[in-house]
Amino acid sequence: MANTYLVAVDGSAGSLRAAEYAADRAKASNSNITLAYVIEWSPYSFHTPEELAERHKRREEEIERAQSTILGPVAKAVKDKGVDAEVVVKHGHPSETLAELAQEKGATQIFIGRKGESRMAALLFGSVAGSLVQTSPVPVTVVP
């Protein structure tokens, strides 16, 4: 049975390098890849029924846009390397959602790019990669 690698993709240069690195590893080990894009969203907001309907419409549009403009080109590049790739778009807290998705997909490893945040921002707010390294149920490779 082939391994599944989960790759966090956000359209940044770092995430594209992570996808390329993961694709090379997947090809060498006859594994497949799940490319994941997480749209930050909090369930702790309250809306009227009308606002919820509008929000649902916007969520569907966000998912469609993420699949076509961000994940689509990355999936094509991965498939061009001869690696099977699935795309997934989820709403939620990025590191928590990626950890849950790794369990759901049976991933054996997560690949994520390191963004070029300033040191101060990383100290104050942390990073998705840093949080994921601490909470992930599987090994995480952070690609520079």
Segment 65-83, tens digit of pLDDT = 989 999 999 999 999 999 9
Looking at the structure of the chain, the number of domains it has is 1
Domain that holds residue 82: 4-143
> Closest Cα partner for 101 from 8, 22, 2?
8
| CATH number where 8 lies | 3.40.50.620
The strands making up 140-143's β-sheet, listed across from edge to edge, are 85-92, 32-40, 4-8, 109-113, 140-143
CA distance 22 to 77: 12
pLDDT of residue 83: 96
Beta bridge partners of 142: 112
pTM: 0.84
Q: For the segment 80-102, what is each residue's pLDDT rounded down to a tens digit?
A: 999 999 999 988 888 999 999 99
Find out whether 101 and 87 touch, Cβ atoms under 8 Å. no
